[in-house]
Amino acid sequence: MRVIPLSVTLLAAALTLTACNDGGGATNGKGDSACAIGGVSVQIGSASVAPGAGDTGEVPVSITNQSAPCTLDDFPDVVLVTGGSKVAVPVAQGAKAQKLKLAKGDFASFTISYVRGAAGDGTSLAAKTVEISLPGAKDAESFPWSYGPVAGKGGSDNTPNASVGAFQQSGD
């Protein structure tokens, strides 16, 4: 009878387990693929536009999985882009990320909340586009920002008076 060393058996088992990743994106360490742009469709819905300076608006964003099961495990990255700069939108204060697994056809959503700034005001951000990327993924998708200037919080870091909410499971 032939004896195979334990180290060879363990190596074979480890290689078999690492081959389980479907290549759909980065993994979260548990073998789940992160949802990635290209495997999902991203849509910005009908916004509750802030009508004037100082008013608050909300922009809903929905994610629909178009491919293999994937996971949303953290907050989306949202960046407002002007003609020459990019400014990250912070996570809403007190928001708690939840891990969502999306099968093909499942969808989730999150909201971008913002305070409208005054046009031409030095503290307002005249955003032209918004870039959205998903947690654990590298690619971003750009959308036109047609909701007016975003008020700034002031200070040297040019933080917009806006925030990103957590993903919420949508549908059935």
| CA-closest candidate to residue 134, choices 164, 95, 171, 114 | 164
Is residue 77 scored above 70 in pLDDT?
Answer: yes
**Domains of the chain, residue spans:** 29-170
| Confidence class for position 154, pLDDT limits 50, 70, 90 | confident
Tokens at 72, concatenated: 């949303």
- Give the residue carrying structure tokens 């290689």: 15
What percentage of the chain has pLDDT greater than the value 70?
78
Q: Which residues, at least 6 apart from 150, have a Cβ–Cβ distance to it below 8 Å?
A: 80, 114, 115, 116, 117, 124, 125, 127, 160, 161, 162
Among 27-36, 38-47, 112-121, 127-136, the least confident range: 27-36
**22-51 pLDDT tens trace:** 334 444 445 569 999 999 999 998 889 999
In the predicted structure, residue 7 carries a pLDDT above the cut 90: no
How confident is the model at residue 123, as a pLDDT?
A: 84
Contact predicate 77/140, CB 8 Å: yes
Give me the mean pLDDT over the 45-65 stretch: 94
Spatial separation of the C-alpha atoms in residues 12 and 137, rounded to whole Å: 29
Mean pLDDT of the chain: 82
Of 135, 166, 169, 139, the closest CA to residue 28 belongs to 135
To the nearest 10°, report the CA torsion of 21, 23, 28, 30.
-10
Among residues 132, 157, 130, the alpha carbon closest in space to that of 35 is found at 132
Q: The CATH number of 29-170 is which of 1.10.3470, 2.60.40, 3.40.50, 1.10.10?
A: 2.60.40
What is the per-residue pLDDT for 97? 94
DSSP label at residue 11:
H
3 confidence band (pLDDT: 50, 70, 90): very low
